[in-house]
Amino acid sequence: MYKYLITAIIIALFAGCSAPKPKTVPSWYTTLPKDFNFIYATASNSDDLKAKKQAIAKLRSQINKELDDAFIKQTTKLAVASNQDIKPILKTNEYVANTLSMRAVSIDKRAVFKGEHLVLVKLSRKTLFDALSRSLNKKLPLSIKAFKNTQDQIAIKRYIVISKLMKNYVIIASLIQAKKVAIANYSTYDEFTHLNELFTAYKKLKKDITISVLSDVNSRGFTSPVKNALRASGLLLSSQMSSKDALKLLITSKTDQTQNYSFNQSKSLVKFTTYDINKKQVAFKQHTFIGKSRKNFKEAKQESAIHLKSKIRKVGIFHFLGLEK
């Protein structure tokens, strides 16, 4: 038994020593094959496994570069405006490329040259395309459906939905173009048409919708957090209602002040009523906020305003105002 084992080891050693070593770097290493079915990359390292890992990293870089080039050179079907900041798209391209599954990558060729392991790895374009499609299908159909459902809604309701859809705009754009990188003859027209319509609607609504925020004397301390949240939502505040989609938000409140043991307690019932340009009520919501202070009632009321700000941050400004269910 041991004799056969030793013989097998010796044969394997001689076979390894006698394996032909290339006198020059193989052509497949210096010039990547061009193929409609696979994406290729090469790498070298003293360790075969590390060489494969480096080649996979190059695959990711290649995909990342092709994605970036499409948006930078505007060869994509996405209607990227000349003044639009594409940095978020480029950042997302890097994320997409670096999170792609590389389980299907295999070594197509290998050689040893001057002590270095040379490898040529390949990734099936169809496998890549299918993986990207699965990721995209988790986001795009929902976006298309939600966008279509806004068509008959008033401007502010449309904006609330579309502004949320815009949060996935960049990742969807990157995934669509990545499918094009995987299979060059794939048509992205329909998918990018949705994004172009979404972006156009978003820009128009941001321009058309303005909000005028008014309050009674007792509610002045509650207006600042509301205004800041509305600005953060992307909407423009204005003292005038200059378009048909303009809104007016009226904040009123009633405050009760009581002594609660050693605390001064301020309890305010705050009402938020939103009207359109025709003075028709489009939303109403009321909240109660309680603040306490050992010092005085003024400080207690300021504390209740802090609770208001916290509530906005928790539920979102549109839900807070009753504009969103």
pLDDT per residue, tens digit, the chain (325 aa), is 444 444 444 444 444 444 455 678 999 999 999 899 999 999 999 999 999 999 999 999 999 999 999 999 989 999 876 556 789 999 999 999 999 999 999 999 999 999 999 999 999 999 999 999 999 999 999 999 999 999 999 999 999 999 999 999 999 999 999 999 999 999 999 999 999 999 999 999 999 999 999 999 999 999 999 999 999 999 999 988 888 999 999 999 999 999 988 889 999 999 999 999 999 999 999 999 999 999 999 999 999 999 999 999 999 999 999 999 8
Three-class SS state of 166:
helix
Which runs of consecutive H residues, i.e. helices, occur in the chain? Answer: 2-18, 27-30, 48-72, 87-99, 125-136, 140-148, 155-165, 169-182, 189-208, 220-232, 297-315, 317-320
Longest dimension (CA), the chain: 101
Cα distance from N-terminal residue to C-terminal residue, the chain: 78
Report which of 195, 196, 178 is spatially closest to residue 186, judged by C-alpha positions. 178
Q: How many residues does the chain have?
A: 325
In this prediction, residue 19 carries a pLDDT of 42
Decide if 108 contacts 121 (C-beta within 8 A).
Answer: yes
Q: What is the pTM of this model?
A: 0.86
Q: What angle do CA 301, 304, 309 make, to 5 degrees?
A: 130
In this prediction, residue 4 carries a pLDDT of 46
Phi, psi dihedral angles at 41 (to 5 degrees)? -155, 150
CA distance linking residue 196 with residue 288, whole number of Å: 42
Decide if 230 contacts 237 (C-beta within 8 A).
Answer: yes
Report which of 55, 127, 67 is spatially closest to residue 92, judged by C-alpha positions. 67
In this prediction, residue 227 carries a pLDDT of 97
In this prediction, residue 20 carries a pLDDT of 53
